[in-house]
Structure formats: structure tokens, C-alpha cells
A and B are shown apart, each in its own frame.
Chain A
Amino acid sequence: MSAPVDHLVIAPVLLPIAVGALMLLFNEKRRRLKAGLSVATTFALLAMAVALLLQAMVPAPDGDAPVIVYPLGNWPAPFGIVLVADRLSALMLVLNAVLGCATLLFALARWHKMGPRFHTLFLMQLAGLNGAFLTGDLFNLFVFFEVLLAASYALLLHGSGTVRVRASLHYIPINLVASSLFLVGVALIYGVTGTLNMADLARLIPAVPPQDRMLLETGAAVLGIAFLIKAGMWPLGFWLPTTYAAACAPIAAMFAILSKLGIYVVVRLFLLFFGEDAGASAGFGGDWLFYGGLATLTFGGIGALASQSMPRLAGYCVLVSSGTILTAVGTGNSAVISGALYYLVSSTLAAAAFFLLIEMIERGREAGADVLAVTMEVFGDPEEDVEDEDEVGVAIPGTIAVLGGAFVACTVLFAGLPPLSGFIAKFAMLSALVNEAGGVPPAHWVFIGLLMATGLASLIAMTRTGIRALWAPQESEIPSVRAVELGPVLVLIALCAALTVLGGPAMEYMEVTAQQLYWPQEYARDVLAGSAAPAATAPVPGAPVPVPAAPPAVPGGS
């Protein structure tokens, strides 16, 4: 733990916090300096994340996927807090950094001027997300969650206005209550097992005595609800479309990964705590994830069809993707989960691109045009007859053509049509579902059907909106769009295309990741051993950390 490269694990958390704090010292008017600093930081984050990803891809000496452990205070794992970078965290770090770069560049065109301290808050949110992806400790996870939530509260209000304040009035209490539930769950789990280290928990949970098992499972369920609120599982996700629609475009695009954080934690903890080795608790909560995910899929699909504005449509698309991944995790099949991980990356990129795109398209449109677009389908277009007037100039201006092309790409990604990565993601999940050993259970047929149906629903909803907004706009001006705004959207879509071209290596990465998630005992051993190594060289101070022995009585419990 002396080589500088070993500290790479903590850098994605420290760097944005340090730079963010530094920027508080400068006057708000020095925008150029602040913008330069935060762009440099975000791209440095991307470089670090890619370096970590490459490290996580090199097989460990014993042939397993490596788990990089960073003991924060140089105390061995069950006592000290550790950061853990394995394949899944490295993947999420890269995804986060990519979204950060794209949305920051987009925001530099105009949005960062709309309110104070945008750059500091933005970097704090990145730091919180990175920390939450890296931590190997439940309470530390809570702290990072609060860091990113606090930043997200302020960022949601960025640009101000009644709509955003009204949305925050719901968003903040919901998350505060979720944080309370988080703490209750953490406390229950600590009360039963006496540890908060995730790896240690994975080791201890199979050995929890039967009389305490109910308390442990209650704690895990309460904890799960807190994350499912973030992920937007039905019926906990009604706040999501409204909030995402109210946030300004670059922030909404960043929020696309906030809901994925909830999913990340559910995936990680569910497989770590209640994997196949978990003894009597194995698979606890799997059915809830599966059926909850199905309900979310249905709700998201119907919501997408019913939504009358593009930002809400994007919000429902986020719900559809949450539902898909939750259901896939609930199946408990590692091949399905590797497909779901691929889908997670692809759908997050697509959702972010779509949020950015919407804002550019909406610039040229009058308020309420979306509502008109939907109602006109029902009541008929009163101006249908006067459309054949003589047209002067280019039939489709260049900007509209590019925006339209990007819109089509987003539609293809959400609907899961070839040739982009949405198709490969859905195909991977479907083929894993159909090829299950011992036949396909009826519930999985429902999942397959819903996966198809929601693809069709998003196709219909997006096409309808796209035709009205881009193909046949009445009296709308051509939006003025700058290259720095269009660039990030095109890059995000290009990344989805690259995921398609490199589909083989990408799927291989996801498969190994899913297998790593499936062997929690190996993860636990790596984390506990990996952090003990440096402590062996440095003598551990004499103060013991008391771990509560067999509890005499558990207050507040059964």
C-alpha cells in the first residue's frame, strides 16, 4: 500500500471533493476558471475510472477476477472501513465518469450560468456517486448516499422556478424518509450480526441462528425498500418522472445514473447477502424483486404511452429500464443478469442522451406543443388541410436533421431494435431466459412478453412524439444549437454504437462480472484477506474493537 498506483481506488472520491471545495473560494464571476477546473477534474475522473477498469480486468494470480481492496485507515477489514473495486464497481465508475463528462460539456453552453455554485455541486455529486460505487461498508454507503443526495437536492433546484421548487418539495422528503429507512435497516443488520462490512456480512449471514434470522431479513427488507425508492420500483417510484422532468437537462441526464445507483446497490447486496451460499436465507427477496420489477415495467410502459411531454416520456423510459433490470435480477439466473448489466450500461447512456436531446428540441417549440401533439391524435388536426403551401428553402434544415437522427437513435435504443446496443441487451436477456435449463417457468414467459410489449410501447410513444416534434412541426423555429451541446449527445449515442460493434468483448466482461457477483464467498475472502495484508506489516494498536457477543435481549425487536 505504498506505491502511488495503489491509491488510485480512493482518488475518484478525493479529487472531486478537493476541487469542489477549492472552487468555493473563488468568486462566482470567475466562470471560465471554474469551468476549466471542473472539466479537467471530470476528464481526470474518466481517466482514473478507465485505469481502474483495466486493473479490474487483469485476472488475479489465482485465476479469479481481481478484487482491489483499499483499507482507508490501514485497519484490517472487519474493523476498519474499506473501499473495494471489483469489476462491477469499476464498470459503474466508468459509466458515471462518461455521463459526467458529457453532461458537464453540455452544461457549459448555458446551463451552468443559471444558478450559483453549479460546478461545486456537480463535482460533489460525482464524488458521492463514486464513493457509493466503491465502498465496502454499509454505513459508509449511507454517508456517500447523503453526499450525493444533498448535492442532488441543490442541483434539482438549479435554475430555480416554481416547477423545480414544487418538485423538490416532494423529492426531498421522499429521500429523507428513505434515508431513515436506510438507517433502520443498517441498525437492524448491525444488531443481529455485529458488523457493517459487506464482505464480513456475506461471511456471517449463513451462520445467523434461526431465532435472529427474521430480524436480519426484516433489516435487509427495510434496507432494500430504501434503495428501491431510488431505483423507482412500483409502487415506490411515482415521484421519479415528475422530478426528472422538472430538473434542467444536464442534471436530469445525471439523474439517470442516480436511479441506477439504487439498482447497483440492490444487485450487489442481494447477491452478496442472499446468494446461493446464504443458507436458510438464500434467495430472500428475489420474488419481490421479480414481481416488483414486472409491475414497474408495466407501469413504465403505460406511463410512456400516456405521457404528454417529452421530459416525462424520458422519465418513464428510465422506469422501464429500472423495471427490466430489477426483474432480471429477480430471476436469479447469472446469464440473465449479465445481459441486464449490459442493458444497464446501454439504457443509462441512452436515457442521458435523450434528456439532453429533449432540451435542444424543445427550444424551438412553443409551450404546450406536446400536449397538442397527443390530443391531436385523438381529436384530429384542425390544420390538416392547409399544409400544402409552397415551401421555400431547405425542406429539412441541417440542425433538425441532426437532432432527428439522434432522436431516431434514442428511439431505437429504448425500443431495443437492431442495430444499436439496446437490441443486443434485450437479445442477451431473452436468449438467456429461453435457454434456461429445465424449461422456462410461466412467470418468466410473462417477463419475456412484457419485455417485448414495453419495447413496442416505447417505440410507439417515441415515434408519435418524434413525428410531431421534428417531422411535422407547425410554426416552430429552428432551435439554435451549439456544437458543444450537440457533441455530447452524439458521443453518447456513438458509445452505444461502439458497444454494439464491440458486443463480444463487452458481453464477455459482463458475464465474468455476473459470475463474480455469484460467488460472494470468494469476494468476502478477497476483501478480508486483501485488507489484512498491509495491516500485518504495521502493528495493530492494542485497543480492541468490541463486537457485541450473543445478544441478551434485542430491544425494539421481537
Chain B
Amino acid sequence: MELVLAAGIGVLAASGVWLVLRPRTYQLIIGLALLSYAVNLFIFAMGRLRVDAAPILRPGEVGDPAAFADPLPQALVLTAIVIGFAMTALYLVVLLASRGLTGTDHVDGRDE
């Protein structure tokens, strides 16, 4: 499982970086999205991979922390997803504005 997850994060990050370095805004925004997926998975993995372990206790129960998954990275991932999503949406608006103003989808606002 570790290998699959590590490879998945690696592939997402690598394709994200490659796309971010491309000259078209559409490629850029897909690259940013892939990068943020990779990062979110990475944060999740930093809480250690656990199968069949709940992140929260049942009400009224005092449990052994070792039997539970670490809930903190899961909360962090949620926050990071929301923020990343909002920023991508905001960038889409700028991208459209630039397309309208300059007539090209090149990241420099002009075709070389």
C-alpha cells in the first residue's frame, strides 16, 4: 500500500510540475490542480497509513490512541482542499480576464 501511495503522489507531483511549466494557462491550471492533489495526499500520508482505524472516538468512550488513526492530518487535508479549490476558482477568473483582454491564452499575455 505504501508503494502504491508513494508512486501515486510522485506521478501526480511530477505531472503537476511539468504542466505548471507549460506556456498555456489551461495546462497551468490543470498542473496546479494536480500539484494540490499530490500535496493533499502527502499530508494525509504524514499521519501514517492505517487500515480499519477510525479517526474519532465514540461518545463516552476512553480509547487507546494507538488503535485510532491520527485525525489531525485529515482535518488539515480538509482545510487544504477547501483553500486550494477556492484559489483555483479565483485563478480561473483571472485566466478568463486575461484571455478577454489580451486575446491569447499564453501565460505572458502574448504569443512569442
A-to-B contact residues, CB < 8 Å: 139, 142-143, 146, 149-150, 153-154, 157, 160, 162, 165-166, 168-170, 172-173, 176-177, 179-180, 183-184, 186-188, 190-191, 196, 542-549, 551-553, 555-556
Check B87 for interface membership: any CB of A closer than 8 A: yes
A556 touches B6 (CB 8 A): yes
Question: Complex formed: what's the CA distance from A194 to B9 in Å?
Answer: 21
- Closest Cβ neighbor of A552 among chain B residues: B48
Q: Which residues of B contact A157 (CB under 8 A)?
A: 94, 97
For chain B, residues 1 to 42, give those with C-beta under 8 angstroms from any C-beta of chain A. 2, 5-6, 9, 20, 25, 28, 32, 35-36, 39-40, 42
Partner of B9, one of A154, A162, A548, A556: A556
A169 touches B95 (CB 8 A): yes
Partner of B102, one of A150, A166, A173, A191: A166
B94 touches A176 (CB 8 A): no
Given contacts A165-B94, A166-B109, A173-B28, contact A548 B87 (CB under 8 A): no
For chain B, residues 76 to 100, give those with C-beta under 8 angstroms from any C-beta of chain A. 76, 79-80, 83-84, 86-88, 90-91, 94-95, 97-98
B65 touches A547 (CB 8 A): yes
Question: Complex formed: what's the CA distance from A153 to B70 in Å?
Answer: 34
B90 touches A150 (CB 8 A): yes
Question: Complex formed: what's the CA distance from A184 to B70 in Å?
Answer: 17
Question: Complex formed: what's the CA distance from A427 to B65 in Å?
Answer: 56
A188 → chain B, closest Cβ, in Å?
7
Question: Complex formed: what's the CA distance from A536 to B40 in Å?
Answer: 36
A176 touches B46 (CB 8 A): no
Q: Which residues of B contact A168 (CB under 8 A)?
A: 94, 98
Given contacts A146-B83, A162-B101, A191-B46, contact A184 B39 (CB under 8 A): yes
Question: Complex formed: what's the CA distance from A142 to B25 in Å?
Answer: 26
B66 touches A190 (CB 8 A): no
B-to-A contact residues, CB < 8 Å: 2, 5-6, 9, 20, 25, 28, 32, 35-36, 39-40, 42-43, 45-49, 57, 62-63, 65-66, 68, 70-73, 76, 79-80, 83-84, 86-88, 90-91, 94-95, 97-98, 101-102, 107-109
A165 touches B32 (CB 8 A): no
- Could you jot down 9 A-B contacts, CB within 8 Å? A143-B79, A143-B83, A150-B87, A166-B108, A172-B87, A184-B39, A191-B46, A546-B65, A556-B42
Question: Complex formed: what's the CA distance from A556 to B39 in Å?
Answer: 11
Question: Complex formed: what's the CA distance from A165 to B106 in Å?
Answer: 12
A165 touches B46 (CB 8 A): no
Question: Complex formed: what's the CA distance from A475 to B109 in Å?
Answer: 33
Question: Complex formed: what's the CA distance from A160 to B79 in Å?
Answer: 30
Given contacts A166-B109, A548-B47, contact A139 B76 (CB under 8 A): yes
Q: Which residues of B contact A169 (CB under 8 A)?
A: 25, 94-95, 98, 107-109
Partner of A555, one of B2, B20, B36, B79: B2
Partner of B68, one of A183, A542, A546: A546
Which of B2, B80, B95, B97 lies at the interface centre, i.e. has the most chain A CB atoms within 10 A of its CB? B80
Partner of A172, one of B42, B90, B109: B90
Given contacts A166-B102, A190-B72, A546-B70, contact A176 B45 (CB under 8 A): no
B97 → chain A, closest Cβ, in Å?
5
A208 → chain B, closest Cβ, in Å?
15
Partner of B87, one of A146, A190, A196, A546: A146
A151 → chain B, closest Cβ, in Å?
11
B48 touches A150 (CB 8 A): no
A543 touches B94 (CB 8 A): no
Question: Complex formed: what's the CA distance from A169 to B109 in Å?
Answer: 8
Question: Complex formed: what's the CA distance from A190 to B75 in Å?
Answer: 13
Question: Complex formed: what's the CA distance from A170 to B47 in Å?
Answer: 33
